[in-house]
Chain A
Amino acid sequence: MVLDTILSAAFISALYAVIAIGFTLIFGVGGILNFAHGGFITLGAFSAYIASGYFGLPIFVGLLAGTLVGAAIGGATYLGVIRYVRTRPVTILILTFVIGFFMMYFVRVFGREILGIDPLNIPVDPVIGFSSFANDVFIFATSWLLIGALFYFVNYTRTGRAIIAVSMSDKGASLVGIDSERINLITWVLAGAFAGYAGVLLAGSLGGGSWLMSIEPPAPLVLSFAIVILGGLGSIKGSVVGAYIIGFFETFTVTFAPGGSQLAGISSLVLLLVFLLVKPEGLFGREAAE
């Protein structure tokens, strides 16, 4: 039973890490709390449905479509809105909220009016359909692979180091010839791609998506926020650690705490509260995008 629980916790934590990483990236580089992150996730899942459910293509195509649409929406959000208001954090906060809700309602209206589906139950298959365990292993493996690749990209490539430079100082980076506009755009595209990818995995894992999926359990938007607070805002490795802490805490609470199944949805919030009071800088503090 304990082994089962550890496995379940490891699998769900890997998914949570992918969900949170895009949110972390944008905060780490631009200092922006992107509340449209949930919208990106929802659109990713919805795109996968259109590709695989509506057009009947294999779910791997759906996964690719969700990732690409996430990337495109991330880039478009930056180019179309964020870059004009980058110096006004409150405006950004409100705008990302509005954009996120706009995306959710888009899924609702488009899904129901055009595609004729129930927007509360958008069927998205698991990426590995023949075995739930294999699907969990796929999520676990690709989570580590992609986050490892991101870590390498950020720390060991020219563009990645430019991202770190911009995250430290916009002006300083400009002085050494880094095009911060381009770096920000790359960051948003990457974050969007991660969110879209996470949306497909999440919907497949739950058995389907919904236009409300960003705020329904496990509420990826709130989850991302809790994870990056735990790990330290802006820290990639902090987010991974935060995801595993929340995943394990939630799973063990449900399994072993008396009446724990009632606490599944709020266990991450309890941790969020505790960390904000006791260690507000998070486990790894603010380490830019490292």
Chain B
Amino acid sequence: MADLPANEQSDEEDGRLDRRSVLKYGGAGALTAGLAGCQSPENPAPGFPFRGQGDKTPPGNGNGESVGDGVLSGETLNVGVLAPMNLPLGRSMWNGARQAAEKMNNNGGILGANVNVELGNTEVSPGKAQSEHRRLVLQEDCDMTCGIFLGSALLQTLPSIANQETIHITSASADPRAGKLVSKTNDDITGEGGESEYERFKYHFRAGPLHLLDLADAMLEFVESNKEEYGWEKAALLTENLGEFTPYANRLQERLSDVIDVPVSERPGGVSDWSPLFNEIEDNDCDVAIVGMALIGTTAVNQWAQQERDFEFGGIHVPSQAFSYWESTGGNVEHVFSMNAMTPQTSNTPQTQPFVEAYREKWDSVPIYSGALTYDVITLAEQAITAAVEGEGLEEIPDSNTLIPYLEDGTFTGSTVLSEFQFTPADATYAHEPQWTSIEETGVPVFQQWQMDPEVREDYGTMHSFAPPQNKSADKTIPEWVNN
């Protein structure tokens, strides 16, 4: 025990919620989720295999010198970025963080304070996420952390986040259990009572994506609003049998049949030959397959296209959110649609396209949603810190406990995804989550679709968005072989 920090020791001794408790709650999905991560594409773009990987050089001057005048001049805000660098999604997070820090430092920092970002490579391992979090906070003196992909990684890191009493803003995982743990009104997780859980886990916030239950509601709204226009009368629900997808799958299994006829509802796992399932979908005259896929998404897409199946295909399709996916599937991903926070073509906010352009110029690639959200974390932190310093009359970077009320109560602008961003309140069922009401009101999530668009690029697909109207960059396309 001697080598553990004091706060870790005390927690294990007094029997409060420890790593084991959270593991018990969230560990079931860890193995499968880890495998899901393994399955994801590893190459961000053609000719762009490794750029930025392992680079720890901070942007700006990076040495703590003042980058501008202000009450925090001479200070440095250290932000730890927990990203799986073996995935395009992780590299995009790290790029987004560095881009935001550099931009901020070039504009005088946060009230004069330099912003320094430190990488913690989580790979796709929950254990690595936790140990990297501790390293960033305890050894690299990070004032806050962000990132983390995979619900299992987030859940395993939560005790460390609580123990270090350091703000963490998630920017890739969509697991709703974190928000439920933070909530004051939920006491059904650890049995400690909501208030107690809140005090312990209040350091966790999520800048995005929307958690999976909100994403399920978004899918319901999308189908209900558009089924007539798209001519959809019957839908097949295919949600991969991964622990990560369970809240999403359960909600859609309960409610999708309220908005459309659902003759086929399956949770496939380990499927390599999709013919039997696709036959079933065609035999039931389904117009569209609403999917939730990560691990087995690629074989499904390839066989859907190669077998020219008579239904549309899309939903949440994680691999197709990477720019390299067109090349990986040899173009089979054309017409496949997926929810996303933004695409390189959308203008969710006035900041979206400038961010995409700057990203493209700096990193020779296009951002994935996680890159945009990690960029937003730094923007959001700047506004919260500025408000706290001014509100409290501070002359140093506020600590996490001082900052939390400003994050909880603030309305943030400058995001690349949402024009006005707020966190859900502490007593919400899912607390410290992105405040979201509906697609109609917020314009997110967008429905990305891979299309051929010679005006953008002749030799490669384009990630357009066909819905909602406020973030639409092209009409929806359907394959010529679909007759329904």
Contacts and interface: CB of A to CB of B under 8 A. Distances in A.
A88 B41 CA distance: 40
A172 interface: no
A1 to B, nearest CB: 5
A119 B277 CA distance: 27
Interface stretch (A176-184, A233-241, A256-264): A256-264
Interface in A71-130: 112-113, 116-121, 123, 125-126
Q: Which interface residue of A5, A53, A123 has the most chain B CB atoms within 10 A? A: A123
B320 to A, nearest CB: 11
A147 B142 CA distance: 63
Contacts of A126: 306
B275 A12 contact: yes
B235 to A, nearest CB: 16
B296 A217 contact: yes
B321 interface: no
A251 interface: yes
A208 interface: yes
A236 to B, nearest CB: 24
Interface in B258-281: 266-273, 275-277, 279-280
B276 A251 contact: yes
B42 A217 contact: no
A174 interface: no
Most buried by A among B38, B266, B273, B279: B273
B10 interface: no
B329 A8 contact: no
A212 interface: yes
Nearest to B88: A118
Interface string A244-285: 000000110011000101111110000000000000000000
A207 B302 contact: yes
A225 to B, nearest CB: 16
A275 to B, nearest CB: 20
Contact of A262 (B267, B272, B279, B325): B267
Contacts of B302: 206-208
B39 A120 contact: yes
B330 interface: yes
B196 interface: no
A261 B43 contact: no
Contact of B268 (A118, A207, A251, A264): A264
Nearest to A132: B307
B332 A207 contact: yes
B324 interface: yes
A264 B276 CA distance: 10
Contacts of B319: 121
A207 B43 contact: no
Interface in A1-40: 1, 4-5, 8, 11-12
Q: Closest 4 interchain pairs by CB?
A: A207-B302, A265-B270, A121-B328, A261-B268
Given A118-B328, A123-B327, 14 more contacts: A1-B280, A12-B273, A116-B49, A118-B43, A120-B328, A121-B298, A123-B330, A205-B273, A206-B299, A208-B298, A216-B39, A250-B273, A261-B241, A265-B269
Interface of B: 38-43, 46-47, 49, 241, 266-273, 275-277, 279-280, 283, 296, 298-299, 301-303, 305-308, 319, 324-325, 327-330, 332
7 contacts: A53-B330, A117-B43, A126-B306, A218-B273, A262-B241, A262-B266, A264-B268
Interface of A: 1, 4-5, 8, 11-12, 53, 112-113, 116-121, 123, 125-126, 132, 135, 205-208, 212, 216-218, 250-251, 254-255, 259, 261-266
